[in-house]
Chains A and B, each alone.
Chain A
Amino acid sequence: MMTAPSATATERLEVRADSDVVRVRQLVRTVAQQARLSLVDQTKLVTAASELARNTLVYGGGGEVEVELVADGRRSGVRAVFSDEGPGIADLDLALTDGWTSGNGLGLGLSGSRRLVEQFSIDTAPGAGTRVEIVTWSR
């Protein structure tokens, strides 16, 4: 059994327009099916990806998304990384609070998507862009 998750396929998409957010959803859906996630887990993951891709577009000023099928020897899963070179997030705790938004959204994008996936990590600093990584494994 491998210790570190190994990638078996990687796809990269640019996020520059509304239509790209739809493409990210479709790609994540395809990989989630390859990973044999349940329908509910697929739906949660795709919804989280939609929120995060929109954040990349709206708050990050555009960026890219990497989606890969991963395996840890007994399970398969999907890892998606959303990165932008936007203004970054100054107060991460605040940004992860339900209902808080720096724009005119509902303030559910970050906090809500964190609840929808198994692993969620975020790397950001003012002026240094934002990188969000999510992973969901098959059961």
Chain B
Amino acid sequence: MSDAVPILKIGSTLLVSIQVDLQDDTALQLQEDLAERITRTGARGVVIDISGLEIVDSFIGRMLASVAAISRVLDAQTVVVGMRPAVAITMVELGLSLGGVRTALDVERGLAMLAPAHESAESVLLAAAAERESR
């Protein structure tokens, strides 16, 4: 068993940056850890940065799709970011489409993709506060 992949929490988003060559048991552990952290923290979004991954084979691809599906059931959105071009080409040729997984080019865009829901919630609260003040 290799070391677990750390999960960071930023506001209501969990951020995972995979920086090691993932072995299968570590990938499964990450999947379980994320599900547990989503329920414990009530996170609404998960960003998985795979810019450090030199390959995404069928096992890792399935893990990413599973995390997206599990988080959806737990009322959170997952965005996979940072896929290298060579990895994307290889994955498609392998036959992996990552159907149902949202992607973005980098962490910044991934976070932005998750932001609108929070922003609109925030703007609703601000508008409500402004209304109270004007009374």
Contact = CB atoms under 8 A, between A and B. Distances in A.
Interface of A: 18-19, 21-22, 25-26, 29, 39-40, 42-44, 46-47, 50-51, 54, 98, 105-106, 108-109, 111-113, 115-116
B78 to A, nearest CB: 19
Interface of chain A, main secondary structure? helix
20 contacts: A18-B23, A18-B26, A21-B24, A25-B21, A40-B85, A40-B89, A44-B90, A44-B93, A47-B90, A47-B94, A50-B57, A51-B94, A105-B59, A106-B58, A106-B96, A108-B94, A113-B94, A115-B93, A115-B94, A116-B90
Interface string B10-41: 00000000000111111000000000000000
A43 B54 contact: yes
A109 B55 contact: no
A50 B55 contact: yes
Contact of B25 (A18, A39, A112): A18
Contact of B58 (A19, A29, A46, A109): A109
Residue with the highest number of chain B CB atoms closer than 10 Å, among A18, A22, A46, A111? A18
Contacts of A22: 21-23
Given A19-B2, A40-B86, A108 B24 contact: no
Nearest to B61: A106
B95 interface: yes
Interface string B53-85: 011111101100000000000000000000011
Contacts of A46: 54-55
Residue with the highest number of chain A CB atoms closer than 10 Å, among B25, B57, B61, B89: B57
Nearest to A39: B86
A51 B57 contact: yes
A54 B60 CA distance: 12
A21 B23 contact: yes
B87 interface: yes
B86 A108 contact: no
Nearest to A41: B86
Nearest to B28: A18
A70 to B, nearest CB: 22
Contact of A108 (B21, B58, B89): B58
A43 B55 contact: yes
Contacts of B93: 44, 112, 115-116
